[in-house]
Every structure is written in structure tokens, then in C-alpha cells.
């Protein structure tokens, strides 16, 4: 078995400033489902920041991070969907899904937390070694 982990923290004040300044920010990074979920909340920026942290943590767990070649639209290819109970789940699409499949990662967990002026997320990916 192989375990990959990623963690990310987002400062809410700075995140909200960037969000407000760049009108295409949400559509460049979040899926329609994510946007609908976040905008349904009293303070959507906290939820957007949590999902953003989860996406970055997902990239780190995949081993590619934000500076990898071919990164265009990859944040949209990692989708954080909340179940009816509010539990977040991680789904991979496109290039991120190809990396997940190539590395034989068959289980993903994500945890998101908000406190004070920060949102933090951790992602754990579990898979099999290539020779298993």
C-alpha cells in the first residue's frame, strides 16, 4: 500500500481580497456544483477558501503541486462535493484523474476546517504500489 498526503492553509482575509479583485476567480477554480454550494452559505468566502485549500492539498497529495507543467484548469479538475450531511468528498477529473489512475490511487479522504481567519484542509490518497 502507498499513502500520499497533502495539506494546505488559506488566510481568509487575503483569499477574500483576491476573490473580490478577480472577477473570473470563482469560474476559473471552482466547478458549478462547488460554486452553488458555497454561495448557498451565509459566508460563502469561508467555504470557497476551504474548498480551495482542499484542491491545493489534493494537488500536493498527487505529487504535482501548483507549479507543475500542464496545471491549467487542474484546480477545476479536483472537485470537492459535500454529502447531505456536509461531509466533503474528493473527485478527480481530466488530467488529475489520469495522474490518480496512473499512480493506482483508489481511495481519497479530505478534511476541511475553518477557525478564526484561516481555512485548512488535508487530503490523504491511498493506493497500491505498482507491483501489487
pLDDT tens readout for residues 69-107: 445 678 899 999 999 998 999 999 998 899 999 989 999
Note the pLDDT of residue 30: 95
Partnered with residue 2 across adjacent β-strands are: 127
Q: Summarize pLDDT for 17-50 with one digit per residue, the tens.
A: 999 999 888 888 999 999 999 999 999 999 999 9
Q: Quick one: CA dihedral 33, 44, 52, 111, positive or negative?
A: negative
Contact 12, 118 (CB under 8 A): yes
Q: What is the DSSP letter of 75?
A: H
Paired sense of beta strands 105-115 and 2-11, if any = unpaired
What is the set of domains in the chain, with CATH numbers? 2-127 (3.90.470.20)
User: With left for phi above 0 and alpha for psi between -120 and 50, is residue 86 left, alpha or beta?
Assistant: left
Q: Cα-Cα-Cα-Cα dihedral of 57, 58, 64, 69, to 10°?
A: -110
Amino acid at each position: 500500500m502507498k499513502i500520499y498526503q497533502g495539506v494546505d492553509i488559506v488566510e481568509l482575509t487575503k483569499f477574500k481580497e483576491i476573490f473580490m479583485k478577480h472577477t473570473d476567480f470563482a469560474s476559473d477554480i471552482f466547478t458549478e456544483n462547488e460554486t452553488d454550494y458555497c454561495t448557498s452559505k451565509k459566508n460563502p468566502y469561508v467555504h470557497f477558501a476551504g474548498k480551495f485549500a482542499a484542491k491545493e492539498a489534493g494537488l500536493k497529495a498527487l505529487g504535482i503541486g501548483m507549479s507543475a507543467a500542464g496545471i491549467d484548469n487542474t484546480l477545476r479538475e479536483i472537485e470537492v462535493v459535500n454529502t447531505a450531511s456536509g461531509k466533503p468528498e474528493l473527485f478527480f477529473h481530466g488530467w488529475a484523474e489520469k495522474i490518480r489512475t496512473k499512480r493506482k490511487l483508489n481511495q481519497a479522504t479530505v478534511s476541511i476546517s475553518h477557525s478564526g481567519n484561516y481555512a485548512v484542509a488535508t487530503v490523504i490518497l491511498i493506493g497500491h504500489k505498482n507491483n501489487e
